[in-house]
Amino acid sequence: MRVLRALLRKEYLQIFRDKLLLRQMIMMPFIQLFLLSTAATFEVKTARVYVVDRDHTSMSRGLADRLTASGRFAVVGSSLSMLPANEAMLGRRTDMILNIPPGFERDVVRTRTGSIQLVFNAEDGALAGVTNSYAQQIIAAYARELGVTVTHRIDESPRIEMRTRGWYNQELDYKHYMIPGILVQLLTLVGTMMTAMNIVREREIGTLDQLNVTPISRSAFIGAKLIPLLSIAIFEFAAGLVVARWVFGVPMVGSIPLVFLAALVYLLVALGVGLWVSAIVHTQQQAMFVTFFLLLVYLLMSGLFTPVRSMPDWAQWMAELNPVKHFIVIMRSVLLKGATFTDILRPLGILAVSGAIVLTLSVRQYSKRAA
C-alpha cells in the first residue's frame, strides 16, 4: 500500500504545518474542557431569603434562624409587609420569601399547627424545586423540635431513620458527571467537523480534482483522510482523560482500555458523518454550518447536559438513534460506575453497527466521477 503511505505522509505534513489548525485543535478542546466543566453545574449554593415576619415571636425568629444555620440559606433583608419583599424579588435581589403571618406562635401552642408561606422565584424551575425541598426538610425538623418543646414530652412516635448514600459520585461533584460527556463532545467536534472541513477545503482549492484524476482508489483516498484525523482525535482524547483524572479528579473506576475501544468505535461513526457532510456541501462555510447545527442537535439531545430519562418518550426514542447518547452512556458507566464489557455490550454494539453503516454509506457515496 505504497499509495496509502504517500497519501498519509501528505496528510500528516499538511496537518502539522497548519499552525492555525494545530492551535485550534489543541486549544479549543482544552478551553472548552476547562470552561465547561467549571461553568456547567447546577449546584445550589446559598439561596437568598427575604424574611417577612409579622409575628415577632421567638418561634418565628427561630424558624428564620434555622434556615440560616443550615448554611444553605442567607437572609438578605426583612420587612413587615410583602411589598418590599416582592420588589426585591422583581429586582432579583432575593430568591425566596419567607412569609410568617401574625399569630404563628399562638397557633402552634394552641392547635399544634402553624402555617407559613414560602414564595420562590421559579424562573429556574428545577433550582426552585431543589431549594424548596431543602427548605421543607429544615422546616420539618424544626417542627419536630417544637413538638418536643410544646408537649413537654419526649417524642415517642415511631421514628424512621433515613440514611442516604450517593453511589458513583460520593462528593456529589457535578464535574464528575459532566466531564465524561464533555470529552465526548470534544471527540465529536474534532472528528466530525475537522473531517468535513478538511475534505471540503481540498475541493474548494481544486486539489481534489487533481487527486480524482489519479488512479488512487476511493478507499485509499478516504483512508488517507480518516486515519490522521482518527489518530489526532484519539490523542486528544487521551490527553483529555489525563486532564480529567489528574486535574479534576474524575474517578476512573472501570477499564481504561475499554474506554479507548469505545472511543475508537465511536470515532468511526463521527468521522463517517463528517465524510457524509463533506459530500453534500460545496464551501467551507456551508460545511461549518451544517456540521455545527447537526452537532448541536446531536449533542443536546444526547443527555450531555440534561438527562435523557427526563425527556418525553419520543425524544428518548430519537436518542436511541443518537450515537453520541450511547457513547456518553458508555463513558459514564465505565468511568464512574466501573461497568464491564458485558455491561455496555448493548450501546457498544449499537455504535459498532452505526459505524459500519455510516462509513459504508459515505464511502459508497463518494465518487471520483461526478454524475
For residue 30, with 0-12 CB atoms within 10 Å meaning exposed, 13-18 middle and 19 or more buried, which class applies?
A: middle
Which of 162, 166, 228, 169 lies closest to 195, judged by CA?
228
| Residue for grid cell 459508497 | 364
**Site for another protein (CB under 8 A): which residue of 246, 257, 364, 371?**
371
For the CB of residue 368, give the shortest distance to another protein in the complex, in Å.
7
CA distance 56 to 101: 9
Tell me which residues in 185-214 interact with another protein (CB under 8 A). Answer: 205-207, 209-214
Contact code string over 269-308 relative to another protein, x by CB under 8 A: ------------x--xxx-xxx-xx--xx--xx---xxx-
Closest to another protein by CB, 268 or 308 = 308
Closest to another protein by CB, 205 or 247 = 205
Coil, strand or helix: which one is 363?
helix
Q: Verify binding: residue 94, another protein, rule CB under 8 A.
A: no
**Site for another protein (CB under 8 A): which residue of 38, 219, 360, 365?**
38
Q: Verify binding: residue 365, another protein, rule CB under 8 A.
A: no
Which of 187, 131, 343 lies closest to 258, judged by CA?
343
Closest to another protein by CB, 83 or 300 = 300
Q: Verify binding: residue 329, another protein, rule CB under 8 A.
A: yes
CA distance 129 to 136: 10
Q: Verify binding: residue 364, another protein, rule CB under 8 A.
A: no
Return the C-alpha cell found at 1: 500500500
Instruction: List, as one string, the DSSP characters of 243-273.
Output: HHHHTT-----S-HHHHHHHHHHHHHHHHHH
The Cα-based distances of 174 to 23, 180, 248 in angstroms read 29, 11, 11
For the CB of residue 80, give the shortest distance to another protein in the complex, in Å.
19
**Site for another protein (CB under 8 A): which residue of 71, 164, 246, 364?**
164
Amino acid letter for position 315: A
Contact code string over 47-76 relative to another protein, x by CB under 8 A: ----------------x-------------
Amino acid letter for position 228: P
Closest to another protein by CB, 28 or 242 = 28
- Asked if residues 193 and 200 have their Cβ atoms less than 8 Å apart, the reply is no
Q: Verify binding: residue 9, another protein, rule CB under 8 A.
A: yes
Tell me which residues in 211-250 interact with another protein (CB under 8 A). Answer: 211-216
Closest to another protein by CB, 146 or 265 = 146
Rg, C-alpha atoms of the chain: 29
Closest to another protein by CB, 157 or 257 = 157
DSSP category for residue 37: H
Q: Which residues pair with 299 in a beta bridge?
A: none
**Site for another protein (CB under 8 A): which residue of 49, 135, 196, 351?**
135
Q: Which stretch binds another protein (CB under 8 A): 146-154, 231-239, 242-250, 260-268?
A: 146-154
